[in-house]
Amino acid sequence: MKLIAGAGIFLMLGSAHAADLENGDDLHFEHCTGCHDSAVYTRASRNVQSLDRLGTQVRFCKNSLSLTWFDDEVDDVIAYLNQAYYHF
Ligand code: HEC
């Protein structure tokens, strides 16, 4: 019995690390639409050309806003932007 309960907790912790696209959407909507709209993500001359670069750019914009996000939250926004616009 103990073994099964332990496995359940392990699974819950595991899923907490998967990117939460809905949370990324919310965070993005709340904090990231003040300076640019989504057109910067889809324009032909967009700067971001890789998933790595997307992470760098999200952190750069986040830091310039002095937002204190957990890594998980940064990952959620990266995953959201990638799924909605970049498709790397
Ligand atoms: C203080 C203004 C400001 C805010 C708020 C802001 N950004 Fe930016 N962001 C910029 C500027 C300036 C650029 C560069 C635009 C350009 O190259 O024309 C940019 C570019 C980007 C790009 C790259 C677009 C491309 O060319 O591929 C991404 C991705 C991005 N921002 C994500 C975010 C995220 C995520 C947030 C919320 C944490 C955010 N931005 C909030 C100013 C801002």
Q: Could you tell me the pLDDT band of residue 4, with boundaries at 50, 70 and 90?
A: low
Whether 46 is in the pocket of ligand 1, judged by its Cβ within 6 Å, is yes
Q: Find out whether 26 and 69 touch, Cβ atoms under 8 Å.
A: no
pLDDT of residue 18: 81
- The tens digit of pLDDT for each residue in 22-50 reads 999 999 999 999 999 999 999 999 999 99
Q: Find out whether 62 and 69 touch, Cβ atoms under 8 Å.
A: yes
Ligand 1: atom nearest CA of 32 is: 37
What is the C-alpha separation between 70 and 75, in angstroms, rounded?
A: 9
Q: From 23, 40, 42, 62, give the residue whose CB has the most ligand 1 atoms within 8 Å, as the site to mutate.
A: 40
Q: Could you tell me the pLDDT band of residue 11, with boundaries at 50, 70 and 90?
A: very low
- What is the distance of C-alpha 85 from the center of its chain? 12
Whether 14 is in the pocket of ligand 1, judged by its Cβ within 6 Å, is no
Query: For the chain, what percent of residues have pLDDT higher than 70?
Result: 81
